[in-house]
């Protein structure tokens, strides 16, 4: 009878060890699957010129220096995903309303920041892409006399290809 007890005792001691090994193997397989699955997502978080493609509506509010006069704009950017844009806008410069259009180039960096060359290359708007490319924030850095108080652009049709 003692022999049977020993055999049962050995089997019951092995059960926790086997379960522990199964748990460790399961965790390794899960971690490997998670790591492999995360790699494409990490790459998808990099930006390029292709991150801006399609039409974006925008609203800007600025103050012009040195006079301190208000300046606002509303309009539409259209990006081709290859580094070129066109836009149409309505401007209100201290009560004077005008309509304009522009075209030029843009560059988007891997970290989703970038720059748009406006006014025939005479101006620069720095940007940061957010919300998976569905919107971006803007800041006019050249000319520095335009001080942004608010500036955001949102994708008009999020289903457009990026």
- Helix (H/G/I), strand (E/B), else coil: 132: helix
- In this structure, the answer to whether residues 132 and 60 fall within a common structural domain is yes
- In this structure, the answer to whether residues 80 and 67 fall within a common structural domain is yes
Contact 59/152 with Cβ under 8 angstroms? yes
Q: What is the pLDDT of residues 118-139, one digit of tens each?
A: 999 999 999 999 999 999 999 9
- 161 inside domain: no
- In this structure, the answer to whether residues 33 and 95 fall within a common structural domain is no
- Residues contacting residue 123 through CB under 8 Å, at least 6 positions apart: 117, 140, 142, 143
- In this structure, the answer to whether residues 80 and 122 fall within a common structural domain is yes
- In this structure, the answer to whether residues 40 and 53 fall within a common structural domain is no
- 34 inside domain: yes
- In this structure, the answer to whether residues 16 and 54 fall within a common structural domain is no
- In this structure, the answer to whether residues 133 and 83 fall within a common structural domain is yes
The 10 Å Cβ neighbour count of residue 38 is: 10
Domain hosting 127: range is: 49-155
Bridge partners of 57?
A: 76, 154
- In this structure, the answer to whether residues 55 and 38 fall within a common structural domain is no
Contact 92/75 with Cβ under 8 angstroms? no
Bridge partners of 101?
A: 88
What is the Cα–Cα distance from 87 to 27, expressed in whole angstroms?
52
- 39 inside domain: yes
What pLDDT is attached to residue 159? 75
Q: What is the CATH number of the domain that holds 122?
A: 2.40.128.120
What pLDDT is attached to residue 39? 44
- In this structure, the answer to whether residues 59 and 34 fall within a common structural domain is no
Q: What is the pLDDT of residues 1-53, one digit of tens each?
A: 554 555 555 555 566 666 666 655 555 554 444 444 444 444 457 999 999 99
What pLDDT is attached to residue 61? 94
- In this structure, the answer to whether residues 36 and 74 fall within a common structural domain is no
Contact 48/134 with Cβ under 8 angstroms? no
Contact 107/115 with Cβ under 8 angstroms? yes
- In this structure, the answer to whether residues 29 and 100 fall within a common structural domain is no
What is the Cα–Cα distance from 136 to 154, expressed in whole angstroms?
7
Number of domains forming the structure of the chain: 2
- In this structure, the answer to whether residues 8 and 63 fall within a common structural domain is no
């Amino acid at each position: 009878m003692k022999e049977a007890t020993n055999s049962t005792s050995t089997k019951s001691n092995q059960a926790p060890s086997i379960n522990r090994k199964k748990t460790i193997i399961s965790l390794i397989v899960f971690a490997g699957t998670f790591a492999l699955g995360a790699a494409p997502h990490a790459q998808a978080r990099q930006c390029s010129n292709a991150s801006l493609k399609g039409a974006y509506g925008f609203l800007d509010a600025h103050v012009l220096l040195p006079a301190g006069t208000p300046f606002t704009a509303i309009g539409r950017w259209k990006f081709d995903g290859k580094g070129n844009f066109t836009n149409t806008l309505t401007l209100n410069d201290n009560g004077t309303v005008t309509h304009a259009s522009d075209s030029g180039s843009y560059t988007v960096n891997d970290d989703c920041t970038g720059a748009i060359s406006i006014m025939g290359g005479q101006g620069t708007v720095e940007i940061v892409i957010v919300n998976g490319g569905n919107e971006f924030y803007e800041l006019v850095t050249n000319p520095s006399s335009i001080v942004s108080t608010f500036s955001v652009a949102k994708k008009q049709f999020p289903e457009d290809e990026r």
